[in-house]
Amino acid sequence: MKEPTAKAKSYKLDPTSSSKATSYQLQARRGFSFIELLIAIAVFSIVAAGMIQAFARTTLVLNASRAKVVGTFLASELLEEIRNLAYTSVGVEGSVPDGVLKRTEEHEHDSFSFTITNTVRNIDDPFDGTLGSTTAPDSAPADYKLVEVKVDCELCANFNPIVLTTTIAPKSLEAPEEGGGILVKVFDASGQALSGATVDVSATIGGDTITIQDITDVDGLLSLIGLPTAVEKYNLIVNKSGYSTDRTYPPGGVGNPNPTKSDVTVATGTATVIGFAIDKVSSLTVRTRDDICTPIADVNFDLSGSKKIGHDPDVFKFGGSFSTDGDGNKSWSTLEWDEYTTTLTDIAYDLAGTIPFSPFSLSPNASQDLFLILKPKSAKSLLIRVKDSATGLPITGASVAISDGVTSYTKDTGRGAKGQGDWSGGAGQATSSSAVESRYFSQDGNVDTASPMGSLRLTSTFGEYAESGELVSSAFDTETQSTFYTLTWSPSTQPLDAGDAPIKVQLASNLDGGEWNFVGPDGTAETYYTSSGETLSSVHDGDRYMRYKITMESASTTTTPSISDISFLYSTDCTPPGLVFWSGLSGGEWEIDATHPEYILVEESINLDNDWQEKVLSMTRI
């Protein structure tokens, strides 16, 4: 029997099965993808950066704390060393009182670099009388010494100087002294005492040089006791950061042989009292322009202040010859408050006017522009300034006529100043030019407009003044598109108790008398004009109507700020306010008449014997 043959089994292979197995094996072995790795690194970097910053901040705080501890320990150690010195040795080398201490010295301590400043003062205790007193004189005014040690670390972060003081008294009884003293008084432009002013004293007496540097106290005073006697030998210079400088000068000095404030004399048993006035410096930019406000470059002029530091001959504190740059500008950033006068010296131009009037006042801590309006040089030019005899402000719309008997000319002064000095007429007036000058637009009820008349003050209730008040003026119409320059008010200084900025003013302007958006000097609603004489924001230029908003504030219920008048200067098409100008006139005698509906007629004359001349007319209100 034939055995059946076995059938071969057939298998159908899946062509993808091998690749799938390989893919699965690769996927199991490959780990994180590249994108996942980048994400992990990013997360780690963020966490690490935060940890590093936290560590750095912690280290900074710890170092600052350690520096303060080390500095305090160093100051205490130095003060203890001074206490163990002989009384006669407690003083600063070359100063008064003289001694073994250095004025400044460097100390390395625990890896920190410290600067040490030593100050020693003789103190005249009023218990036994005072130097120079007529009722209780003290023949030995140096009763004891006040020692101050200041430790500073300029390279340490967030380090505030450490100041420690102590008093040291002599072990024996006082003996009469042959020396004298100087009492220094420092005040600002308004006569208020100025604390923290630096006083540098230097003198050479008998071959010995004395140098003292100290600061005024809260009353603006500095007493220098126990000084060797000398005649006009002590040179004093007073200043403060951001402030002007006042000083004494040696008699017979080169360029100033007769100073108005000579170096100080110290006499036996007396205290020489001397005062100095300094205040915050201001900035001024002189701009040379033509009558359509186009800059004129490289113009020569003189500028001088009115403060004198010498006489016979007169020597002024500030003055010189200058030139504008290629843009027609010349700027100063550290000028002292003063009354300044400018004179054109350029041979190519005539001065057709200034904005504001020259001479002009520069207030402390102010920023002001002075425009010199120029015309090409011409023979026999005449500039006439017309001003109010009481306020000195330029007069708007005065008619000025000149005549030499043959030819006559008439011009109106440029629109100059608008403002207000009386608010007793009450609220509700929209435009000042349409009705009464003594009215205004609105107020919040906290401003007293009539007690006294001609003044704005905070209202008083049962002897206490309101904390703040606000008044909005009527609209002033300049009658055409205008350029606005400065805002001024009186008084320019306010009571100290009222606070830092008791008067704040904003201005609003437009072309049609419609929308009023009040802004400050930077053109935004967030800022205010806080000092008289500031330059107005250029956002108002080209407008016709102007309003002011006064905000009055006081930090004390027993004190109120006040305003007696407020005004702004403006011009049209660079025509200076209150001025008229002629050129190409004939020489000889010219009659001048100035009229204005609100002023008494002015009649004067001038002899035109120079190529350029100026005449000032003062008009009195009817």
Does residue 81 sit within a domain? yes
Model pLDDT, residue 357: 85
Say if residue 465 is in the same domain as residue 369.
Answer: no
Which domain does 219 fall in, by range?
180-277
Give residue 186's pLDDT. Answer: 95
Pairing of strands 282-289, 367-376: parallel
Coil/strand/helix, residue 164: strand
- 340: domain CATH number? 2.60.40.10
Name which of 316, 371, 372 is nearest 344 in CA terms. Answer: 372
User: Is the distance from CB of 247 to CB of 236 less than 8 angstroms?
Assistant: yes
Long-range contacts of 252-261 (CB under 8 A, 24+ apart): 255/315, 256/309, 256/310, 256/315, 257/310, 257/312, 258/310, 258/311, 258/312, 259/309, 259/310, 259/315, 260/308, 260/309, 260/310, 260/311, 261/309
CA atoms of 277 and 197, how far apart (whole Å): 10
d(CA 230, CA 142): 18
Residue 369 shares a structural domain with residue 469: no
For 509, the token pair is: 């302007």
Residue that has been written with the tokens 């009763």 in this structure: 143
Alpha-carbon separation of residue 307 from 275, 277, 337, 339, 359 (angstroms): 15, 12, 10, 8, 13
**Best CA proximity match to 182, nearest among 71, 259, 266:** 266
Instruction: Determine the pLDDT at residue 612.
Output: 93
**Is the C-alpha dihedral spanning 306, 418, 279, 195 positive or negative?**
positive
Contacts 24+ apart (CB under 8 A), 246-252: 246/276, 246/277, 246/278, 247/276, 248/274, 249/309, 249/310
Q: Is 108 inside any structural domain?
A: yes
Q: What is the DSSP string of 485-511?
A: EEEEEESSS--GGG-S--EEEEEEEES
Yes or no: say if 269 and 226 are a contact pair by the CB < 8 Å rule: no
Structural domain count of the chain: 4
How many other C-beta atoms are found inside a 10 Å radius of the C-beta of residue 563? Answer: 23
Find the DSSP H helices in 221-276. none
DSSP structure class, residue 75: H
Return all residues near 94 (Cβ < 8 A) that are at least 6 apart.
Answer: 103, 208, 209, 210, 211
Residues 224 and 240 both lie in one domain: yes
Considering the domain architecture, whether residues 453 and 551 belong to the same structural domain is answered as: yes
Vertex 224, ends 188 and 206: CA angle to 5°?
120
In a domain? residue 15: no
Q: What is the maximum span of the chain, computed from C-alpha positions, in angstroms?
A: 168
Q: What is the pLDDT of residue 132?
A: 64
One domain, residues 271 and 301: no
Residue that finishes a domain, picked among 254, 277, 300 = 277
Residue 584 corresponds to which amino acid?
A: G
Average pLDDT of each block of 10 consecutive residues along the chain (622 residues)? 44 47 48 73 77 68 79 84 85 88 88 90 78 68 85 86 85 64 91 94 91 92 90 96 96 93 89 92 95 90 96 94 97 96 95 90 93 92 94 87 93 81 90 70 95 92 94 90 89 91 96 93 96 93 95 95 91 81 93 95 94 94 91
pLDDT of residue 166: 85
Residue type, 59: T
- Assess whether 90 and 133 both reside in one domain: yes
The closest alpha carbon to 157, from 69, 51, 52, 65, belongs to 65
Q: Of 560, 587, 603, which residue is a domain's last?
A: 560
The domain that holds 187 is classified in CATH as: 2.60.40.1120
Residues in the chain: 622
Rg (CA), the chain: 38
Shared domain for 207 and 125, answered yes or no, is no
Give yes or no: residues 185 and 204 share one domain.
Answer: yes
Residue 1 domain flag: no
Instruction: Please check whether residues 151 and 215 belong to one and the same domain.
Output: no
pLDDT value at position 485? 86
User: What are the structure tokens assigned to 170, written together?
Assistant: 């002599």
Query: Are 210 and 158 within one domain?
Result: no
Same domain, 244 and 223: yes
pLDDT given for residue 121 in this prediction: 87
Cβ pair 327, 297 in contact under 8 A: yes
599 in a domain, yes or no? no
Question: Which of 277, 294, 326 is where one domain is finished?
Answer: 277
Q: Would you say residue 384 lies in a domain?
A: no
* Domain identity same for 269 and 285: no
Work out the number of other CB atoms within 10 angstroms of the CB of residue 151. Answer: 26
- For residue 359, tell me if it sits in a domain: yes
Can you tell me whether residue 59 is helix, strand or coil?
helix
Kindly state whether residue 58 falls inside one of the protein's structural domains. no
